[in-house]
Amino acid sequence: MSKKKRASFSDDELPNEVSLNRPPIEDEEPFPTSSPFTNQEQSDPIKLLSQMMTTFQNMMNVGVSPQQWASSTPFQVQEIQEPDAVDHDIILPKTIHRGITVQESIKIHPFFGKLFLKNDSSSMNGLPMGCTITLTGPAYSGKTRSALEMVINAVSQDIRTAYVVAEEGFYDSNSSGRNDLFSRFLSLGINLTGLSEDEFRAQYDDRYYILPNQYHLGKTWAEFIRDYRYLVEDLGCKLTIIDSINMLDPSKLNTVDNLNALKTYNHEQGITCIVIGQVKDSGIPQGGEALFHSSEVAIHIYEKNMTSKAEADIWGSEYRNSIMLVSARSKVCNTISVPIRIDHIQDGLIRASEFQAERERLSPNFWEG
């Protein structure tokens, strides 16, 4: 019985015509015939393991990694933690918890407050709170008297108020006999509250501040901002009245830019600001139409001539006479869409006239309360 040979590839068992000692191909690197490790290294398992770890580490350093299919890349899960804030001046809407709000009002003027309406078209009975409001009109139209009235109504509600006086001296320290602005303010306060002068001063003198900023004092806009910030941030004023913004810039060149800067600061601080503005002889406010666009709320007093008897009859006036009207605009709430005729009552205060255009007449009790 013959024996079968084992399947083997040792040289002594290969056929004679097969030899591993073939001549090398040109430019071919000779195949190593011995192990890269010496006999001693092969016999030392610890050193052999160390060599293998070193080789593996070198492979990792040169970026050898298991191959990935390119099409699988979009499906690789990467854990990305979305921050609640970023190190830039960017607002993430998801961090804002308050949504739609109802515009609130500040009740500091019984007539002007009626010009602004709620969503159901009823009166807000107050000026829009937290807004920069322009009050423009010609000379002797009652702007300053209205400002004084608003200061009195504000302090009587314990609203800390700052009154910036830029057109005339608030107090005559030389006792020249002039009925100065402070004197007129006290007289108005007595008439509106029913208190005596001493009672009014004892109760309200510490609730309002006066910032003189007349042209002759030579104050710059930067100095005004410094004082204004002190009134707001250190003294806690929540209502400010500026009479007038035009005199803060006698050149009349930067009125709109100044108002924009002031409005932005008021937004940040939650300030309701009444800005009184002058008008030219043409009836256009100093700063033009841009002055209205720079504020959120605008109240404009203007004169209207009765050019015909028919028009005079509509407004309850006389032919060729003139009447005073008020119009209002607002970005934050609705307003009365028609001009309102006004009269000046005792102390020069502005109130709605009983004579309104018939086609624009409101309900009889609209101006009450």
What residue ranges define each of the domains in the chain, with the CATH number in brackets?
Answer: 126-307 (3.40.50.300)
Residue 285: per-residue pLDDT: 65
With a CB cutoff of 8 Å and minimum separation 6, the contacts of 30 are 24
Q: Which of 277, 262, 272, 258 is nearest to 229 (CA)?
A: 262
| pTM more than 0.75 | no
- Is residue 103 within 8 A of residue 120, CB to CB? The reply is no
- Give the pLDDT confidence score for residue 299 in this predicted structure: 95
Q: Which long-range contacts (CB under 8 A, 24 or more apart) does 283-286 make?
A: 283/138, 285/134, 285/136, 286/246, 286/252, 286/255
Structure-token pair, residue 213: 């900023």
Give me the numbers of helices (H) and strands (E) for the chain, helices first please: 9, 13
Higher pLDDT, 327 or 249: 327
Confidence of residue 139 (pLDDT cuts 50, 70, 90): confident
pLDDT digits (tens, 9 = 90+) for 53-112: 777 666 665 554 455 555 445 445 555 555 555 567 788 888 888 889 899 999 999 999
